[in-house]
Amino acid sequence: MRALVWFRSDLRIQDNTALHHACRTAGRGVIAVFAICREQWIEHDWGNAKADFVLRSAVALSTALEGLNIPLRIIRAARFEQVPEKLLSLAKRHACDALFLNREYEVNELRRDRAVTNLFEQHGRTVHAFDDQTIADIGALRTGTGGWYTVFTPFKRRWCETLKAQGIPQMWPEPRRQDDTGIKPQAIPTRLEDFTGECFADSWPTGERAAHHRLTAFISNSIDEYHELRDYPAIDGTSTLSPYLAAGVLSPRQCLHAALEANRGRLDSGKTGATTWISELVWREFYRHVLLGYPRVCMGRPFKLATEGLTWRDDKERFAAWCAGQTGFPIVDAGMRQLAQTGWMHNRVRMIAAMFLTKDLFVDWRWGERYFMRHLVDADFASNNGGWQWSASTGTDAVPYFRVFNPHTQSRRFDPQGSFIRHYVPELVDVPAERIHTAHGRLAGLDYPPPIVDRRNTRARVIGAFRGVHGPQ
Ligand SMILES: Cc1cc2nc3c(=O)[nH]c(=O)nc-3n(C[C@H](O)[C@H](O)[C@H](O)COP(=O)(O)OP(=O)(O)OC[C@H]3O[C@@H](n4cnc5c(N)ncnc54)[C@H](O)[C@@H]3O)c2cc1C
């Protein structure tokens, strides 16, 4: 049997379920393929940072695969609809009898994979699909009544119980070198039409070695203090592994095993730093579970259906100020500028910026979701949608709709010295810590805008709007 392995959001050779099984069973060599779907990527709001990171990761993958004697071939299909035919013709050309892939859970991706499977089966080829994106089998985690979880804490409890009962999923061994097929790898373009090409490449080096280096450094230097430092954007207290997890350069199992090693094998006891970090990996799994159970979130719809009745403000001007980091709220502007300048934003600031857009400006969360997708190097549908809907109170947050962050209070609490603000908002570099959180041009004669919104009535306004659609809570 000759295997064709289709790489998508799993751009690595280590601990890759589909690749492992293909290498173990193929007798006449393995061929790899990656599909460039430019129009589909644009439609899915891929930005320059994400597209560049993925293409560079595919280059690194190709080199790693060469070491296993597996050539990486490229197909170009503008949209997913064209993928099945192109993939089949590649399989025919290179006499591949079976296709191996790791599942993706977004709606268009599921449809595409169904079409591929049907076509391959019609042409006498088998398709082997695996769950590899998560540590637990997220489709099998169900409530006592067989439903999908809608709240994180019980989901996490079940996640831990299941892993303890079934054992922690092991990592796959390094695949063995394959028989030579005589087929050559194909060059991967570094720049695509409508994308700018290299984007933040120095900050986000690709390849498995770079990812493992980051993981090891985080485990050695930061995981023990993670629970104390993770909320302070001026401190490098988090792993910055999200782009690697999103593109699958690193597997979540590899992350979990590294954390367990630092915590003497304990999943939810032992060192608080390690268990808090493991919880974040579970958040990632929770949002994939929500996507599987409630595919409507993948079609622009809110998780809480009643919130479809909200009339968001069509305020393009304030939205533009938010995008540009010119809201006059220093912590929000610092975060938005961090995103523009690095392709990444600290989690605490993502929440503050998202809550500001949806609660203070009352702008539709989908506008912010799209903007983040287009700019984040770690853009990941499930986590981004989950984070946005949580912030907008249209999602799975167990706290009812009155969770409204005050950006000034958040700023004083999580950037007390104003160091993060000063780094990204140089107009405020000389403002002392006690005034920086509320500083603006009118007050201090600075070249920095006054607040674009008077937030004195925010809370009452938001509660009024949500009460209108939900009724009193
Ligand atoms: C509005 C909003 C949008 C977001 N968009 C994305 C996105 O597009 N892609 C993305 O990967 N994350 C997203 N997140 C989640 C989170 O902000 C990032 O995963 C995190 O900041 C990445 O930094 P890190 O790798 O240093 O995380 P760490 O703190 O080191 O956490 C380890 C890993 O756990 C996962 N993780 C951590 N927090 C979360 C979370 N709240 N939800 C889901 N997974 C989490 C990530 O894979 C992360 O790399 C979003 C959060 C919000 C509030």
Q: Which CATH number is 382's domain given?
A: 1.10.579.10
User: Using CA atoms, how far apart are residues 131 and 129, in angstroms rounded to an integer?
Assistant: 7
- Closest-CA residue, ligand 1 atom 39, reads 280
Do 105 and 251 lie in one domain? The reply is: no
> Which atom of ligand 1 is the closest one to the Cα of 384?
5
Cβ neighbours for 252, distance < 8 A, ≥ 6 positions apart? 133, 134, 135, 245, 281, 284, 285
* Number of domains observed in the structure of the chain: 3
> Is 186 part of any domain?
no
Question: What is the number of the ligand 1 atom nearest to the C-alpha of 281?
Answer: 34
Q: Are residues 91 and 10 both part of a single domain?
A: yes
| pTM of the predicted model as reported, rounded to 2 decimal places | 0.98
Q: What is the mean pLDDT of each run of 10 residues along the chain (473 residues)?
A: 98 98 96 98 98 98 98 98 98 98 98 98 98 98 96 97 97 95 96 94 97 98 98 98 98 98 97 98 98 97 96 97 98 98 98 98 98 98 98 86 90 98 96 93 80 92 90 68
Mutating to test ligand 1, I would choose from 359, 378, 393, 397 the residue with most ligand atoms within 8 A of its C-beta, which is 378
Last residue of some domain: 262, 293, 324?
Answer: 293
Phi, psi of 467 (to 5 degrees): -65, -35
Q: Is 172 a catalytic residue?
A: no
Give me ligand 1 centre to Cα 361, in Å.
23
280 among known catalytic residues: yes
Q: For ligand 1, atom 43, which residue shows the shortest CA distance?
A: 284
Q: What are phi and psi of 74, to 5 degrees?
A: -115, 135
Is the CB of residue 246 below 6 angstroms from any atom belonging to ligand 1? yes
- The answer to whether residue 312 is catalytic is yes
Q: Are residues 312 and 288 in the same domain?
A: no
Q: Of 159, 365, 367, 390, which one is the catalytic site residue?
A: 365
| Contact between residue 151 and residue 287 where contact means Cβ atoms under 8 Å apart | no
Taking the CA atoms of residue 211, residue 217, residue 223 and residue 225 in that order, the dihedral angle to the nearest 10 degrees is: -140
Please indicate whether residue 347 is annotated as part of the active site: yes
In angstroms, the Cα distances linking 97 to 31, 62, 262, 276, 334 are 11, 22, 43, 44, 53
Residues 320 and 378 in one domain: yes
Q: Is the CB of 245 under 6 A from ligand 1?
A: yes
Domain containing residue 265: CATH number: 1.25.40.80
For residue 249, give the 3-state DSSP assignment.
coil
Is there an atom of ligand 1 within 6 Å of 376 CB?
yes
Test site for ligand 1: of 153, 239, 280, most ligand atoms within 8 A of the Cβ: 280
Residue 150: which of 276, 275, 297, 256 has the closest Cα?
297
Cα–Cα distance for residue pair 439/442, rounded to 1 Å? 9
Asked if residues 2 and 30 have their Cβ atoms less than 8 Å apart, the reply is: yes
In this prediction, residue 257 carries a pLDDT of 98
Task: Identify whether residues 116 and 31 lie together within a single domain.
Answer: yes
Quick one: which atom of ligand 1 is closest to the CA of 226?
Answer: 29
Q: Is 391 in the pocket of ligand 1 (CB under 6 A)?
A: yes
Residue 266 and residue 259 in contact, taking contact as beta carbons nearer than 8 Å: no
- Residue of 172, 344, 388, 390 marked active site: 388
Residue 242 CA to ligand 1 center (angstroms) comes to: 6
Element (H, E) at 98: strand 98-102
Told to judge if 385 belongs to the known catalytic residues of this protein, a careful annotator would answer no
Q: Are residues 419 and 446 in the same domain?
A: yes
One-letter identity of residue 61: L
- Judgement on whether residues 140 and 271 belong to the same structural domain of the protein: yes
| Residues 401, 316 share a domain | yes
Q: Which residue's CA is minimally distant from atom 49 of ligand 1?
A: 242
Regarding the beta carbon of 414 and ligand 1, being less than 6 Å apart is answered no
Integer Cα distance of 300 and 318 in angstroms: 22
Contacts of residue 220, defined as CB under 8 A and 6 or more positions apart, other chains included, come to none
What are residue 98's DSSP bridge partners? 3, 126
Nearest CA owner, ligand 1 atom 37: 280
CATH number of the domain enclosing 25? 3.40.50.620
The minimum-distance atom of ligand 1 relative to the CA of 244 is 49
Residue 444 has a pLDDT of 64
Give every CB contact of residue 265 below 8 A, 6+ residues apart in sequence.
none
| CA atoms of 352 and 154, how far apart (whole Å) | 25
Cα–Cα distance for residue pair 211/72, rounded to 1 Å: 21
Cβ atoms of 228 and 202 closer than 8 Å:
no
- In the chain, count H helices and then E strands: 21, 5
Q: What's the CA-to-centroid distance between 111 and ligand 1, angstroms?
A: 26
Range of the domain at 365: 305-470
Packed helices 330-342 and 407-414: angle between N→C axes, nearest 10 degrees? 70
- Tell how far the Cα of 302 is from the centroid of ligand 1, in angstroms: 20
pLDDT at site 102 = 98
Tell me if residue 283 is catalytic. yes
* pLDDT (0 to 100) of residue 402: 73
Kindly state whether residues 142 and 286 are assigned to the same domain.
yes
CA angle 238, 408, 346 (to 5 degrees): 20
DSSP 303: S
Strands in 30-36's sheet, in edge-to-edge order, are 72-76, 30-36, 3-7, 98-102, 126-130
Residue 299 lies in a domain: no
Within a domain: 48: yes
From 132, 155, 181, the end of a domain falls on 132
Tokens 């409630």 correspond to what residue? 294
